[in-house]
Structure 1
Amino acid sequence: MDSHKHEFGGELRRRRERAGFSLGAFAKLIHYSKSHLSKVETGCAAGNREFAQKCDIALEANGALLALMRDRPHRRAGTRTAAVTGLPPVTRHFTGRERERKAIVAVLRDMSTEGVCVLSGMAGVGKTALALRSAWDVADLFPDGCLFLDLDGQALAGAQATAHDILDLLLRLLGVPGEQIPPQFDARANLYRSRLRGKRLLVVLDNAAGTAQVAPLIPAEPRCSLMITSRNKLNALDDAVRVNVDVLPHAEAVTLFRAIAGDRVSAAPDELVARVVQLCGRLPLAIRIAGSRLRTGANASLQDFERRLAEETSRLGVLDDGERSVAAAFALSYRELPLDQARVFRLLALHPGRVIETDDIAALADVDLEQATVLADRIGDTHLVTHTADGHVILHDLIRDFARALPEVEEQGAAVRRLLDHNLQLTRTSDEFLAPHRYRVQLDLPDLPVSSTALPDRESALAWFDRRWPTLVGLCGLAATQRLHRHCWQLAFLLRDYFFQSKLWDQWIGTHRTAAAAARVAGDNRALALTLNNLGIAYADRGELEQATGHYEEASDLFREAGDEHGLINAASNMAWAALYLGDHERAWHELWTAGAAYRRLGNKRNAAIALRGVSLAEVELGRHDDAVAHADESYDRFRELDLPLDMTMSLNSSAWAHFRADQHELAAERYRLAAASASDCGSPYEHARALIGLGNVHAAAGRSAEAQAEWTRADELHPPLDQRMVGEARVRAGD
């Protein structure tokens, strides 16, 4: 255990006891938890300068305790991620809530509590607005950032986001690259807690569905805080401080209504405004919708509006009852929409994403981009939709429920097909930039909107994928539920290369499982074979080789039945790679050599070169080192002709590995250095780490242990430990 921890903790305890403070009394005095204070005193926790300064002042140590903290070893350079403040802006019409804000701020300021605050209340009561206002109130207290996640916004195809899904998003926000996020739940949770250690950070989770979704996300670091909003009370969060968010007090409700309605009610009698507000149940969302209708001229006068609201006797009952109250208020606004806007509003409910981009609106409505922009803006004037800073449309979950309860648009089926064809076209053209030499199926897009255009370059394609992939995952699910099976499996097929590059393994596997089920229902065995083959690649890339092999074998049988030679070769090649990593080297060599010859015969140059690189790796394990070097270098030359930098990097590493096992260490070091530089240029932390481990192995073999450890440390900083079954350099480092 760190001697510094013991020195500081021991001195702190000695001074506290000499001053006559019990552990609990002193913890309360310095506003830290009793458990954290105890851990610091016993050397189980390190503390920090802020903690030391509070102790120093409270015990009148005249800087002695602070001086001890000053000697604390610094973090390793490069491990601290930049502060991220992702809080959305607060509505300029935020009104009141002073009591609730004070309660929330007190929880977030006080580090002696568990730092978890739950805001609960009925739908539409303004929990999100209050959470954001309070978060901004204390943002300066969290120098390491403030993160915001709408958990409803992470739900895809009707499935609620799990803690496992949310950990993936939080880790990315905390600077963890996708390929470094482990697939296992416990591993993700451990990495999340590790990333928060020593930080002062606020996490805001909006629209939590239940305790199981958020309980694993509670920070273990006492200086971090978590604020949660939910329509549920989340009773199982025993240690959370709860703030009940009720409807607005009468005076605040009137102030909000006048602010929203503006000049239309500036001269209206207080009594009339009070009656309208009361008919809205003093529910903020209903008040906002009512005020917006008045401001945009939806009613001739405030008196008329009051009468219409009062006539809706059934609606008044709903207005006092959760989600039905919001639906009633939405219905009033919806009836005032012109026919073209009402049609688009109902079509928006078909979209699976919470954020809807203008080109998707155009596809749904079968209009051009300019018309789609105008229609979205007009609907936004009624607050039935809101807009992001970059002009995209957001449908709140309750508004979406309301829109889906409306009568279906006659062309609903055609609208869904247009949306899917549009996104299939964009996904295909974008995928061509990511993997230009990949085999692709021919798309049949009879409902492709005239407004659909391709992206211009690789950079734009990557940015589009980064922004759009949640919608694309949702569209796979939508296609399946609409029994549009061809759209479902083709979209999943085209997402493979992006998921491989970004290491979004969960989404890769999820979409392909959905696609496989769709292909089975459709009785399309060729589509099923293609999907299962790619599903196997997903599992293999995640290191689950036995699972991958099962999918490859089923795909191979289907390709054989269909007489698909290209597919059969792909499945055989993939099984050969799995055999290589599982230790069946002779079989792997034979099948990869056979696959390479078949690829050359079919003119598939990239796959032939990939198979040749696999042959080299098998030859290393079989002790045929001269052949291994020759074949690795030949594969490099082929990839260079095709201008494929990542594949060139992988071949450089394979050549270095072959030289190393042939005891040609200087040549190995030369190749590893070239591979490290190439990996850095093409943005592959995985191959870069492999090259550095190889360089460390060269140093270790020459007895240069310090140099070896330096290279291995650099590799560990770039990427989590590489799988020893799949990377020979990792086995050598481990002493195998």
Structure 2
Amino acid sequence: MKLGGPVHERVLVSLLLEPGQVLPVSRLVEAVWDDAPPATGAHQVRKAVARLRQVIPDGARLLTTEGSGYRAVTDWVYLDLDDFLARLGEARQAAAAGLTGETADLLRQALALWRGPVLSGGGGRLIDAASTALEERRLAAVEQLMELRLNDGEAAELVGDLVELVAAHPLRETLHAQLMLALFRSGRQAEALETYNRVRRLLADELGIDPDTRLTEIRDSILRNDPALVAPARPQRNSAAVPELSGFVASECSLPYDLRDFAGREQQLHDLIEHAREPRGLSPRILAIDGMGGVGKTSLAVHAAYLLADDYPDGQLYVDLRGYTEQQQPLSVESAVETLLRALGVPSSRVPMDTQSRLAEWRAIAAQRRLLLLLDNARDAAQVRPLLPPSANSMMLVTSRARLVDLDSARWISLGTMTQENSIAMLADTLGEQRVAAESAAAAELAELCGHLPLALRIAAARLHNRPRWTIAYLVDRLGNESRRLDELRSGERSVELTLNLSYLGLTREHRTALRLLSLHPGHNIEAYAAAALLGTDLDEAEAIMEHLLDVHMIQQHELGYYVFHDLVRSFARRLCLGTGDRAEDERGEQEDTAALARLLDYYMLVTDVACDLAFPGRVSLESPLEKAGVSLPSLQDAHQARKWLDREQNALRNAVARAHRVGLHSHAAALARNVVFQLDATGQFEEYQEIAQIAVAASRELGHSSLLRMSLSNLAVAEWKLGRFYEGIAAATEGLHLAVWLGDRRGEAKDTGMLGVLLGALGRFDEALSRLQQSIAIKRELGASRAEAESLTNLSTLYEQWGHYEEAAAAALRALELNQELGVRDNELVSLADLATAHLGMDQDREAQVYLDRALRMADESLPAADRALVVALAAKAAYRRGERDHAATLAARALTLGRTSRTPIRQARIENVLGGLALGDDRHELALQLHFNAHRIASEASYQVEEARALQGLTQVYEAIGHITAAAHRRKQAGDLFDKLGIAVQFRRSG
């Protein structure tokens, strides 16, 4: 009979595997397509049912519609599955009655019905799971039949069958034991012992365990030639009724041992106990704990269970569901319920053979008891739901690495990492308070390196406890190497890496790949857009993947739209990128990782282009080969949003540039660096600016790309200038200028010529500087590069001010101000206002200066560079002092000093401290004035910033004169005079402030 295709077959088999049960359409969709159903999945299932009703005789009677699902009604048809299960049930009853011959016959009849896996093993995840359960029943029946035949005196005739069974199922120890007995009783003692040796080696290699007690006892008995191994007499058969259940243990506790040093989960423990003792409802209470591997879920659950034990006097039962256990399959419901029945004292002979009968027996017993059931290490709700005790007087505790969202009515507690305080307390409890107190800083760092993960902390403490000569600092040093950190967090059979690997292996292939690729992200917080770029998906799919990884606690989320790795999970995921040892697989993985990183860098290029155009209007736009179509980008509407995004992603962007250069993606490194330095410059992070610019220069040289090299050298020259490294800046600007001229790059020529003017001016070479700046301004004006022209006009104003040409300084600053206002460049507008105020103060036009200072103070919010704000406040202090507002001036001066010293801008700091030093002298605060001028002199002389060096010397001269140190004053006067003369600055410029 042609049913219609794989969809029809899987729908029919799913319904027949659970006859009489209503299966919702969603369950059938999952059975057909697993985790990747088409959008039309539900429609196709309904069409399949309609087709099956047509092609199967009386199909409408067989397949009925029940609400939103379907049910198979099989009481009028013959199913070999029903026959198989029925004969197994009859065999169980016969065995309980002692009818061994009848039991063997029924088992043979049941096994004769077997035709192999359901749908030949190609039925999908849900059908295969049911098929596996049926296979487990078959093997249990085979083992029972073999046991009966051995007890009936058979031996040699069983050897062949048992050899085949052992070869097909090498990890079933019962079959090995039966083969050993059959061989021994056939006079083949040596082969029986070799069978033991083979299974011992297999279990050690595959699972890292020893054979079970029965195998070992049989081996020992064979070595002793124990008469007890001779086949027993056949058991007496009778037709006695099945005995009533007896021997039930009134109160049974199978909980693991409680930790003596349990600590650090007081709030969660309190919440668990509170929930457990809430007024009882009509159904049993379910309390569930989820969290990443190693976070201490089991310890918390066991500790809570012992505290609650008195409330459940009929038993406290524990089952490890093995959802995430090394080299073991999750425990089946059939096996779990058998464990529970035996824990309650039900004899093995009374444990039903089939799952449904076992569950019925479990519920019948549990309904009359007050039980606490702890189900540890659950993989999914399907493992848990059937085991729920029916009585409202019972409670179920569940632990799982993933939140089982479809476990209805459960009260969930998500367990995170421990606090710093609790981490230290755990270390102190193991190592002793004195040892931890003696190395308190190292202990705190150890807790950080362990990510405050209880498992990692316990392993670290165990290593230190077992190595009393090790200091905590020594272990911290060993853990400091991220590539070896997971190796260090291993003790005996416990390992953070193993725990994380079990969670990793529980993921689908798609999510395993995603976890590895996400670890390539260069920042701490991973925004969803960057994740989409790494994974090569759209935003919705990336978020779905991230949310699944969040559900299974492989990543964390502290803020909407952003995801983070736990430090140890990141180390684990990055280790996955290092390779598997399979050369071909490693090459594919490396190619996949490189492609993902390239996608991320392309994304960063696109979004930083948008952000920088908004945040830094008027900048020169460069052509990009990248297309925005198909790439998900964050919505940045204005300069504020753009700067906020750039600030947030700053570390990731810097690391991305470094990573790109390190892996050979040099064009990405150099091009992205050009955008990244804008925000670093605006926020005064000049050391970081210099680092990124140096990487861009190196990457450009590796590429042999002259245009990128020219641009990168220009940026490096700016960074060197801001850091007061004028000679290094001149070298970079000179090379950049030569390249620009050779390339015919007029914009580059204008920029590098202007940078040379700035740098030469800082060294006091005013004539050369003036020529360069005027040349730069002319080219920029010719090109219509208004932003760049405004920057050079600002630099020209500074040059004129240092030279004492205040009218020219004011004119240049006013034109720069007009351009910056037209462009909306707020940070440069602030500098232009400061320059105008400086020029007017130099001309003793205090009222005009104050107008510009008031405007500058109003706009000087925290979004603008601290160094520029500090200069404005210092100039405002100087103006207030001149007006006689001494208190106000002192307040402004203190604020300016704090801002200036946090700005990390040497050329600004030297100028500010010279201005403030003059004000301190005017207030007769001689010690402060000396300190400020000394500091300005040190900064300026280290950078060869000769103008401010001369001003600092003049300030020191005036302070020494004021306090009567005539010799020191004369020495400083001569130094200052010589330097001013060298600079060609008029004598009347030599006055403080």
TM-score category by the smaller chain?
0.5 to 0.7
In the alignment, which residue of structure 2 is the partner of 1:281? 493
- Write out per-residue CA displacement over residues 302-341 of structure 1, whole angstroms, 9 at most, x where no aligned residue: xxxxxxxxxxxxxxxxxxxxxxxx2x55554444433322
Q: 2:563 aligns with which of 389, 392, 399?
A: 392
Structure 1 residue 520: deviation in Å? 0.5
Judge which range, 386-395 or 573-582, deviates more. 386-395
- Secondary structure of 1:438's aligned partner: coil
- Write out per-residue CA displacement over residues 627-678 of structure 1, whole angstroms, 9 at most, x where no aligned residue: 3223322322232222233222212211121122223334334433333233
Compared with structure 1, are the counterparts of its residues 131 and 553 closer, same or farther at alpha carbon in structure 2 (3 Å cutoff)?
A: farther
- Name the CA distance, whole Å, in 2 between partners of 1:727 and 1:607: 25
- Secondary structure of 2:443's aligned partner: strand
- Write out per-residue CA displacement over residues 129-172 of structure 1, whole angstroms, 9 at most, x where no aligned residue: 359999xxxxxxxxxxxxxxxxxxxxxxxxxxxxxxxxxxxxxx
Compared with structure 1, are the counterparts of its residues 481 and 114 closer, same or farther at alpha carbon in structure 2 (3 Å cutoff)?
A: closer
Q: 2:752 aligns with which of 550, 571, 578?
A: 571
Structure 1 residue 101: deviation in Å? 4.5
The answer to whether the 8 A contact 2:710-2:736 is kept is yes
- The Cα RMSD (Å) is 4.0
Structure 1 position 624 matched with structure 2 position 781: no
Structure 1 position 100 matched with structure 2 position 431: no
- TM-score normalised by length of structure 1: 0.57
Structure 1 residue 247: deviation in Å? 7.6
- Name the CA distance, whole Å, in 1 between partners of 2:453 and 2:723: 40
Compared with structure 1, are the counterparts of its residues 486 and 704 closer, same or farther at alpha carbon in structure 2 (3 Å cutoff)?
A: same
Compared with structure 1, are the counterparts of its residues 116 and 623 closer, same or farther at alpha carbon in structure 2 (3 Å cutoff)?
A: closer
Structure 1 residue 490: deviation in Å? 0.7
The answer to whether the 8 A contact 1:629-1:658 is kept is yes
After the TM superposition, which residues 400-419 of structure 1 pair with which residues of structure 2 at under 5 Å, given as runs? Answer: 400-406=574-580, 407=585, 408-409=588-589, 411-419=592-600
Q: In the alignment, residue 571 of structure 2 is paired with which amino acid?
A: D
In the alignment, which residue of structure 2 is the partner of 1:375? 545
- Name the CA distance, whole Å, in 1 between partners of 2:665 and 2:837: 48
Q: 1:697 aligns with which of 868, 871, 878?
A: 878
Compared with structure 1, are the counterparts of its residues 376 and 708 closer, same or farther at alpha carbon in structure 2 (3 Å cutoff)?
A: closer
In the alignment, which residue of structure 2 is the partner of 1:688? 869
After the TM superposition, which residues 243-642 of structure 1 pair with which residues of structure 2 at under 5 Å, given as runs? Answer: 281-283=493-495, 285=496, 326=497, 328-390=498-560, 391-394=562-565, 395-406=569-580, 407=585, 408-409=588-589, 411-445=592-626, 449-642=630-823
- Name the CA distance, whole Å, in 1 between partners of 2:613 and 2:727: 30
- Name the CA distance, whole Å, in 2 between partners of 1:339 and 1:539: 49
- Name the CA distance, whole Å, in 1 between partners of 2:772 and 2:860: 28
Structure 1 residue 446: deviation in Å? 5.8
Q: In the alignment, residue 427 of structure 2 is paired with which amino acid?
A: E
- Write out per-residue CA displacement over residues 72-118 of structure 1, whole angstroms, 9 at most, x where no aligned residue: xxxxxxxxxxxxxxxx95359x99997634479957997xx674242
- Name the CA distance, whole Å, in 2 between partners of 1:600 and 1:334: 60
The answer to whether the 8 A contact 1:692-1:714 is kept is yes
The answer to whether the 8 A contact 1:572-1:595 is kept is yes
Structure 1 residue 554: deviation in Å? 1.3
- Name the CA distance, whole Å, in 2 between partners of 1:564 and 1:392: 43
Q: In the alignment, residue 813 of structure 2 is paired with which amino acid?
A: A
In the alignment, which residue of structure 1 is the partner of 2:319? none
Larger Rg: 2
Structure 1 position 128 matched with structure 2 position 424: no
Compared with structure 1, are the counterparts of its residues 701 and 456 closer, same or farther at alpha carbon in structure 2 (3 Å cutoff)?
A: closer
Structure 1 position 712 matched with structure 2 position 901: no
- Name the CA distance, whole Å, in 2 between partners of 1:384 and 1:581: 54
Structure 1 residue 724: deviation in Å? 6.1
What is the number of residues matched between the two proteins?
472
Q: In the alignment, residue 820 of structure 2 is paired with which amino acid?
A: F
Structure 1 residue 565: deviation in Å? 0.8
- Name the CA distance, whole Å, in 1 between partners of 2:423 and 2:673: 48
Structure 1 position 232 matched with structure 2 position 486: no
- Name the CA distance, whole Å, in 2 between partners of 1:447 and 1:729: 45
The answer to whether the 8 A contact 2:874-2:896 is kept is yes
- Name the CA distance, whole Å, in 2 between partners of 1:606 and 1:695: 27
Structure 1 residue 614: deviation in Å? 2.5
- Name the CA distance, whole Å, in 1 between partners of 2:672 and 2:850: 43
The answer to whether the 8 A contact 2:556-2:564 is kept is yes
- Name the CA distance, whole Å, in 2 between partners of 1:621 and 1:116: 49
The answer to whether the 8 A contact 1:121-1:232 is kept is no
Structure 1 residue 726: deviation in Å? 8.0
Judge which range, 365-374 or 390-399, deviates more. 390-399
The answer to whether the 8 A contact 1:724-1:730 is kept is no
- Secondary structure of 2:452's aligned partner: helix
- Secondary structure of 1:118's aligned partner: helix
The answer to whether the 8 A contact 1:535-1:548 is kept is yes
Compared with structure 1, are the counterparts of its residues 444 and 127 closer, same or farther at alpha carbon in structure 2 (3 Å cutoff)?
A: closer
Aligned sequence identity (%):
22
Compared with structure 1, are the counterparts of its residues 448 and 626 closer, same or farther at alpha carbon in structure 2 (3 Å cutoff)?
A: same
- Name the CA distance, whole Å, in 1 between partners of 2:454 and 2:522: 27
Structure 1 residue 424: deviation in Å? 1.0
- Name the CA distance, whole Å, in 1 between partners of 2:592 and 2:857: 55
Judge which range, 633-642 or 601-610, deviates more. 633-642
Compared with structure 1, are the counterparts of its residues 420 and 524 closer, same or farther at alpha carbon in structure 2 (3 Å cutoff)?
A: same
- Secondary structure of 1:663's aligned partner: coil
Compared with structure 1, are the counterparts of its residues 718 and 426 closer, same or farther at alpha carbon in structure 2 (3 Å cutoff)?
A: same
After the TM superposition, which residues 61-100 of structure 1 pair with which residues of structure 2 at under 5 Å, given as runs? Answer: 90=417, 100=427
Compared with structure 1, are the counterparts of its residues 358 and 587 closer, same or farther at alpha carbon in structure 2 (3 Å cutoff)?
A: same
Compared with structure 1, are the counterparts of its residues 710 and 403 closer, same or farther at alpha carbon in structure 2 (3 Å cutoff)?
A: closer
- Secondary structure of 2:761's aligned partner: helix
- Name the CA distance, whole Å, in 2 between partners of 1:388 and 1:524: 42
Structure 1 position 116 matched with structure 2 position 441: yes
The answer to whether the 8 A contact 1:529-1:559 is kept is yes
- Residue segments in structure 1 that go unaligned for 5+ positions in a row: 1-87, 135-214, 216-225, 235-244, 249-279, 286-325
- Secondary structure of 1:451's aligned partner: coil
- Secondary structure of 1:356's aligned partner: strand
Compared with structure 1, are the counterparts of its residues 645 and 330 closer, same or farther at alpha carbon in structure 2 (3 Å cutoff)?
A: closer
- Name the CA distance, whole Å, in 2 between partners of 1:121 and 1:728: 44
Structure 1 residue 607: deviation in Å? 1.9
- Name the CA distance, whole Å, in 1 between partners of 2:832 and 2:423: 64
Structure 1 residue 702: deviation in Å? 6.9
- Residue segments in structure 2 that go unaligned for 5+ positions in a row: 1-414, 459-470, 481-487, 919-932, 934-954, 956-991
The answer to whether the 8 A contact 1:676-1:687 is kept is no
Q: 1:643 aligns with which of 824, 832, 835?
A: 824
The answer to whether the 8 A contact 2:853-2:872 is kept is yes
- Name the CA distance, whole Å, in 1 between partners of 2:649 and 2:431: 34
- Secondary structure of 1:392's aligned partner: strand
Judge which range, 605-614 or 385-394, deviates more. 385-394
Compared with structure 1, are the counterparts of its residues 448 and 618 closer, same or farther at alpha carbon in structure 2 (3 Å cutoff)?
A: same
- Name the CA distance, whole Å, in 1 between partners of 2:543 and 2:876: 55
- Name the CA distance, whole Å, in 2 between partners of 1:503 and 1:541: 9
- Secondary structure of 1:396's aligned partner: helix
